Structure 1
Amino acid sequence: QTVKDLMATATTRTGLKLLTTILYNTYQTGRNVAVDFKSNVKIVVDEFLPQWNYTPKPQLQVI
Structure 2
Amino acid sequence: MRLVKGLIGLILIAVGPMFIVITIDDSLLIKNMLLKVLGTFCIFIGSDMLHKQFHPNKYKKI
Scaled by the length of structure 1, what TM-score is found?
0.22
Q: Rg larger in 1 or in 2?
A: 1
Higher helix share goes to which structure? 2
Higher relative contact order at CA 8 Å, sep ≥6: structure 1 or structure 2?
2
Scaled by the length of structure 2, what TM-score is found? 0.22
